[in-house]
Structure 1
Amino acid sequence: MRIESSDAKRLAIYFFYDKNGVVDKYVPYFLDDLKKNVSDIYIVCNGKLNDKGREILKTYGECHVRENKGFDVWAYKSALEHYGRQQLVQYDEIILLNNTIMGPVYPFSETFAKMDGQDLDFWGLTEYFKIPYDPFGYSPYGYLPDHIQSHWIACRRTLVESKDFWEYWENMPEIENYEQAVGKHESIFTKTFADKGFKWGVSVDMEDLRKYSGYPLMMCPQRLISERRCPIFKKRSFFHLHADYLNNTTGEAASMLFEYLRDETDYDVDFIWETLLRNYHLYDIVKNLNLTYVLPTNQCDKEKLAVQTGRMKIALVMHIYFEDLLESSYRYVSSMPEETDVYITTDTETKKKAIEKVFSPLPCRKLEIRVIENRGRDVSSLLVGVKDVIMQYDLVCFVHDKKSAQISPEAVGASFAYKCFENTLSNRTYVTNVINTFAENPRLGLLAPPVPNHSTFFTTVGFEWGPNFKVTKQLAEKIGLTVPMSKKVPPIAPLGTMFWFRPCAMERLYAQDWNYQDFPKEPNKIDGTLLHAIERIYPFVVQEAGYYAAYGMTDKFAAIEYNNLYYYVRGYNQVSVKFGIGPFYNQMLERIDDILGHQGSFKRVIKYRLKQDLKRIIPEKIYLRCKKIWKKMRKSQNYNSVRVKGEE
């Protein structure tokens, strides 16, 4: 069937879901353009919809809120039943689409104009290529065939009026999870009707990408948009599984997509930030968008800085406790521009006098040294010691002198301090680039040095929460945070508590009106306290305010970080491959986890490995005989008297 008339009658059935019932700005932007190309829009929403969201959606057509059951598949099914066959066949085309896609980057009129003249019974925007096996276990074919992705399937009258179409939906079982949604609907819809003689196609030409990727819309979305005028992109691009990205790419897909949208199109990328920061783990966003800023220490745009410092009020807050670190502290603070207001806190009048002596030559707009209570350490310095002035500033750098007294040798702690300071206040050029980075990225709310990973800090990577998740979660509930937080997902936190931030992004934390009595008395524990919870709550507070946290480092330290991580991964790979584990990263992890989990303890892991080695180096019969002897020995608990028939 071809659609020849520009007056074609179309119905769009738009599925909407948001866990909080909020309609973000990308939705009306999408529907504004869609409305120009269809006769009617019917919106079906699973779960809840707040009053503001309902009012927005009602402007586009009838809006039905139903129980959050059956995913998008049963939402479509309910909408089709709502209209009924007799009414639906009055339309030339029924479009089933959902809010997992964003756009349009190009007007949908282009897509309809391209597809109208094609003799098809149903069509979509993009295609997912065949997987020769069934990863979910629900496909009746035993594999996933080529199929139109279900975020947009347009069904023409020739299909909708058929008995086959209605039987398909009448026999659709209830969908209980994502895997079933793919296995029982998305991946089989196309083949089901193609096998019955119905013709199909997609608007984005992508057959030549079959060997490049089975999922081009996820693995090379920028190419589809820039080279093939694909009008949409997946919201999931920015929080997709890291392992899947790295099994197929080097991890560039989402950041390339974002940069292209921002720099080469009229699409407002703030729509992306709004929905991402409200709904998804910041760790996933940071990873997929590669939000680590590597900034030069030897070149900067000073003219740009002059502009920034003219319109941004900047402060530095530093807590000083160790008098023997005064000289190094002064050197780092000297990296701030002369227009900076500097606040230094300490715990005694004696130390204040020593600080005044060292810091008196500091070129700055204002220098104020405050004596605070010795309770809460650097955390209370920031949240109590300067709370009366902090909201006056657009941008603040917070640092403190640092010793890790619990760690030996002292070089380990000193290197941690070096990592924090160098990637916060390396030199004036680096600081200039940090300030410019905040100015150029209005959603950037916090910039922290990378996580420590040397010596005893090595296991910090992978265990960023330590024993602090519960106390952080309690604090999050106390201050009313709603952004996602999971023990399985690490915080993008300034471990070491040195960072740059926008005070407006921290307003919720300051609204608690902290005082020194809120913090534990000295001596303090080295982990698991309120201080460590606050250290980890910063990025969530920033995210709640609609900003993101990110990592920043100097170009010189990036070389150190890369070489260290390369060394770690190289050693990990050598051991893994030696014992036949691999080759893909996620396969290695699954195999190691399986071995460790199966054995239950490190001692049993070693025993398991020895058994595997014995199997390879001795004959099977001898191995089984040894195993039999071992079992008898364990059963008798008398190793000297064990005998097996036929053995001496």
Structure 2
Amino acid sequence: MILTENIKRLGIYFFFDKHGDVDDYIPYFLKDLNKSLDRTVIVVNGKLTDKGSHILHQYGDILVRENKGFDVWAYKSALEYVGWETLKTYDEIVLLNSTIMGPIYSFKETFDKMNCMDLDFWGLTKFFKYDADPFGCIKYGYIPDHIQSHFIAIRKPMINSEEFYQYWSKMPMINSYSEAVGKHEAIFTKHFSDLGFKWDVSVQCDDLREFTGYPLLMCPKLLIKQYRCPIFKKRSFFHNIDDYLDNTTGEQTSELYDYLDNHTQYPVDYIWDTILKSYPQADIVKNMNLVYILQKNGKKDISHILATRKIALVMHVYFMDLLDDTFEKVSVMPKEAHIYLTTNTREKQILIQEKFKHSKFAHLDVRLIENRGRDVSSLLVGVKDVIMDYDYVCFAHDKKTAQVTPTIRGAGFAYKCFENTLGSQRFVCEVIETFESNSRLGLLTPPEPNHAIFFPTLGAEWGPNYDITKELAKELQLTVPISSDKPPVAPFGTMFWFRPKAMKPLFDKDWEYTDFPEEPNKIDGTLLHAVERIYPFIVQQSGYYPAIGMTDKFAAIEYGNLKHYLRGYNLGILGAGVGPYYPKMREEMCYRMASKGGIVVFTKALIKKVLRKVLPPKMKMHLREFYGKMRNR
């Protein structure tokens, strides 16, 4: 069926937000869509706030229903709500949902293009055939070519058909995401195509079939730029990282964002608004590649920023034998900065004041604080009266990590912290300019320690501090997702740059020294380490993102270290016959290590691998004979 003039079109838009909020990307989307619709029914799974209801009512009828059946039963409920006889009066019905964002190009362009095509149903994008059923419930036993269910348009011949009515009337309850795909999305297209109904998609990219099975997620920039795809997936910003890295080198999401920001009119703040409040920061930071590599000897002129922004350094000074080093670290701050140094005794305060008496900063204040709460109380109590006066602040403290021996290991941790917060005057300028250029950046922290005894930090970022961090989050009324299987993007070592207004919820709590444990206190599992991990979630709650920052010099070190670690693991794991790809390797190793005797099996395989490499040929022969006899016993 070709659509001509006086087209009567119904839109059924499925919406879900766990908070019941309606983010700005929704009305932006619906405003353009409604130019091509005669009526819109918005079906909401779960709750809807009063404010959200007011927004949505401007764009159509609202049907709020119980949050069950996923999008499939939302569509079914909306179709029944409109009524089958009324549905037959429409030339076209569009089923679509809030998992897509846009439009980049007006939907009118898409509708005008597809009106001229003789079709019974159509969509925006296609998922290509996959010769397996990962969901375990696809009736064909594989994933056929299909229109993705975030946008499917059905025309009158199909609307009026008994087959379409029966499809929805007999739709079983959908109890999981897998069933939503396996019992609807993956089969809808083939089911009706096999019945003789004609279909196509507007984003014609079959030439990418051998490139990727899922173009919209794996190469969204390409679809928008070269194929004029009007939408992108919200999931792009929090999708499973392993799946991305099984297909791409990790560039797909940041490339999408940069293109949207620099080459389209789409308001990218809408992306931040919706993903930060609802999705894990670890996934957002990785998928968006929020790691800033800044020049240690850069040449950026930030005089215009310093003329209009207030910059501060807050530093807790405890070790007088490190005072000369502390003086050097503080000296890299711009002369326009305000410096707040805190310490715990009057004697130390006098020594610090004497050391800094000739400094040329715009303001210098050496404050005496209680010796309770260490550097954390320095920031949350010691300077709470002034902190919100500033635009950008660096927080640091002198550092020994004396509990780690030999002490060079602790010195390496301190180097990592200072190099990537106060690495040089030029680097500090680069940091300030980075905050100025990235309005959603709330926290910039060095990468976590991973050398020597600190190596397990990678994978054990929570340590014994998860429960107490969750308690603190509850007390601070945070609603962003915090889970034990997603690491915090936290400043391990408690040195970082931040935007004070992004940290406001933390400073709104009236902290006192007595909130913190008395000295001496244990290393982990206290409020101090909960605060260390809560910083990035505070920022996220405020609508900003945390990120990692490094000097270019240290980025080279970090890359080399991580490559060395990964290569070492690969040598062992591949040598044990596990591979060849990361997800499979990790899954298999977890299984082997968890299985009875798994460690022994893995160790034996690794020893054999090493011995084969280092033993002379004659001994290798004897070794093979020995293992042969052992197997035959």
Distance (Å, rounded) in 2 between the aligned partners of 1:402 and 1:483: 31
The answer as to whether partners of 2:311 and 2:337 remain within 8 angstroms in 1 is: yes
Aligned to 1:81: 80
Matched, 1:582 2:600: no
Matched, 1:435 2:455: no
Query: 318, 327, 350: which one pairs with 1:330?
Result: 327
Find out whether 1:306 has 2:303 as its counterpart. yes
1:384 to 366, 381, 386: 381
- 1:367 aligned to 2:364? yes
Spell out, residue by residue over 1:469-505, the C-alpha distance to the aligned partner (whole angstroms, 9 max, x if none): 0000000001111100000000010000000111111
Instruction: Tell me which amino acid in the other structure corresponds to 1:387.
Output: K
Structure-1 residue corresponding to 2:536: 539
Secondary structure of the 1:426 match is: coil
Indicate how the Cα distance of structure 1 residues 601 and 357 shifts in structure 2: closer, same or farther if over 3 A, else same: farther
Deviation digits for residues 314-367 of structure 1, max 9, x if unmatched? Answer: 110000101111111111111111110000001111111221222223221011
Aligned-residue offset at 1:85: 2.1
Q: What is residue 286 of structure 2 aligned with on the other side? A: 287
Matched, 1:393 2:390: yes
Which residue number corresponds to residue 121 of structure 1? 120
- The residue that corresponds to 2:492 in the other structure is 495
- AA aligned to 1:129 is F
CA apart distance, 1:163:
1.1
2:148 aligns with 149
1:14 to partner: Cα distance: 0.1
Give the alignment of 1:610-629 within 5 angstroms.
626=633
Distance 1:562 1:624, change over 3 A: closer
Separation of aligned partners in 2, 1:109 and 1:173: 34
What is the CA deviation profile of residues 193-223 of structure 1, one whole-angstrom value per residue up to 9, with x for unaligned ones? 1111111100011100001100000011001
What letter matches 1:3 in structure 2? L
Question: Structure 1 residue 536: deviation in Å?
Answer: 0.3
Q: CA deviation at 1:625?
A: 6.8
The aligned amino acid for 2:436 is A
Cross-structure match for 1:230: 229
SS at match of 1:424: coil
The alpha carbon displacement at 1:583 in A equals 1.1
* 1:594 maps to which of 587, 591, 595: 591
Q: Secondary structure at the match of 2:580?
A: coil
Post-superposition offset of 1:84:
2.5
Sort the Cα spacing of 1:222 and 1:35 in 2 relative to 1 into closer, same or farther, 3 A.
same
Determine the structure 2 residue equivalent to 1:321.
318
Question: TM-score, normalised to structure 1's length?
Answer: 0.94
Contact conserved, 2:423 with 2:551, CA < 8 A, in 1? yes
Equivalent residue, structure 2, for 1:630: none
Please list the CA deviations of residues 139-169 of structure 1 after superposition, one character each: whole Å capped at 9, or x if unmatched: 1111000000000000011111111111111
Q: Is the 8 A contact 1:13 1:41 kept in 2?
A: yes
Change beyond 3 A, Cα 1:59–1:414:
same
Distance 2:494 2:161 in 1: 65
The correspondence of residues 629-648 of structure 1 with structure 2, limited to 5 A, is: none
Moved more, 43-52 or 617-626: 617-626
Given that residues 481 and 541 in structure 1 are in contact (C-alpha distance below 8 angstroms), is that contact kept between their aligned partners in structure 2? yes
- The residue type equivalent to 1:112 in the other structure is F
Matched, 1:527 2:524: yes
Q: CA deviation at 1:621?
A: 10
1:301 positional shift: 1.9
Q: Percent identity?
A: 57
| Partners of 2:208 and 2:215 within 8 A in 1 | yes
When residues 603 and 625 of structure 1 are mapped into structure 2, their CA distance, relative to the original with a 3 A threshold, is closer
Deviation at 1:606, TM superposition (A): 4.5
Alpha carbons of structure 1 residues 45 and 585: separation in structure 2 relative to 1, 3 Å: same
Partner of residue 645, structure 1: none
- 1:154 and 1:320 mapped to 2: Cα distance? 65
Q: Which residue of 2 aligns with 1:41?
A: 40
- Whether 1:418 and 2:415 are equivalent positions in the alignment is yes
The 1-side partners of 2:433 and 2:597 are apart by 51
**What is the rounded CA distance, in whole Å, between the counterparts of 2:168 and 2:607 in structure 1?**
55
Q: Please state if 1:29 is matched with 2:28.
A: yes
Alpha-carbon separation, structure 2, partners of 1:624 and 1:66: 63
| Cα 1:137/1:610, change in 2 over 3 Å | farther
- Aligned match of 2:2: 2
Q: Per-residue CA shift, 1:398-444, capped at 9, x if unaligned? A: 00000111111111000100000000011111111100110111111
Which residue in the other structure is 1:248 paired with? 247
Aligned AA (1:455): A
Is it true that 1:486 corresponds to 2:466 in the alignment? Answer: no
* Residue 506 of structure 1, CA deviation: 1.3
Question: Any idea what the Cα deviations from partners look like across 1:32-61, whole Å, max 9, x if unmatched?
Answer: 000101100001010100110011111111
Q: How far off its partner does 1:289 sit?
A: 0.3
Cα distance change, pair 603–363 in 1 and its aligned pair in 2 (3 A):
farther
Amino acid corresponding to residue 263 of structure 2 in structure 1: E
How far the C-alpha of 1:511 sits from its partner, in A, is: 1.5
Structure 1 spans left out of the alignment, 5+ residues: 627-648
Residues 363-405 of structure 1, C-alpha deviations (whole Å, 9 max, x = no match)? 2101110111111100000001111111111111000000111
After superposition, what is the alpha-carbon deviation per residue over 1:534-559, rounded to whole angstroms, capped at 9, x for unaligned? 00000111111111111000000000
Give the C-alpha shift of residue 171 in structure 1.
Answer: 1.6
Q: Deviations over 1:78-134 (max 9, x none)?
A: 111122221111101000000000000110010001100001110000000011011
Secondary structure of the corresponding residue to residue 79 of structure 1 = helix
Q: 1:142 to 1:520 in 2, by over 3 A?
A: same
Contact 1:599 1:605 in 2 (8 A): no
Q: Residue type of the partner of 2:454?
A: F
Aligned partners of 2:545 and 2:114: how far apart in 1? 40
**Counterpart Cα distance in 2 of 1:17 and 1:73:** 13
The 1:94–1:377 alpha-carbon spacing in structure 2 relative to 1, beyond 3 Å, is same
Distance 1:48 1:619 in 2: 68
User: How far 1:508 moved relative to its partner?
Assistant: 1.1
Asked whether the 8 Å contact 1:104–1:232 carries over to 2, the reply is yes
1:448 aligned to 436, 445, 449, which one? Answer: 445
Tell me the distance in 2 between the aligned counterparts of 1:267 and 1:592.
Answer: 44
Any conservation in 2 of the 1:599–1:608 contact (CA below 8 Å)? no
- Give the drift of 1:512: 1.4
The answer to whether the Cα contact below 8 Å between 2:45 and 2:67 also exists between their aligned partners in 1 is yes
Q: Secondary structure at the match of 2:510?
A: coil
Of 561, 564, 569, which residue of structure 1 is paired with 2:561? 564
Partner of 1:131: 130
User: What CA RMSD, in Å, does the superposition of the two structures yield over aligned residues?
Assistant: 1.9
Q: What is the rounded CA distance, in whole Å, between the counterparts of 1:62 and 1:618 in structure 2?
A: 79
Q: How far 1:311 sits from its partner (Å)?
A: 1.6
Q: By how many angstroms is 1:620 displaced?
A: 11
Aligned counterpart, 2:505? 508
The aligned length equals: 622
CA distance in 2, matches of 1:532, 1:299: 34
Letter in 2 for 1:575: G
User: Where does residue 202 of structure 1 map in the other structure?
Assistant: 201
Partner Cα separation in structure 2 for residue 498 and residue 67 of structure 1: 46
Distance 1:77 1:379, change over 3 A: same
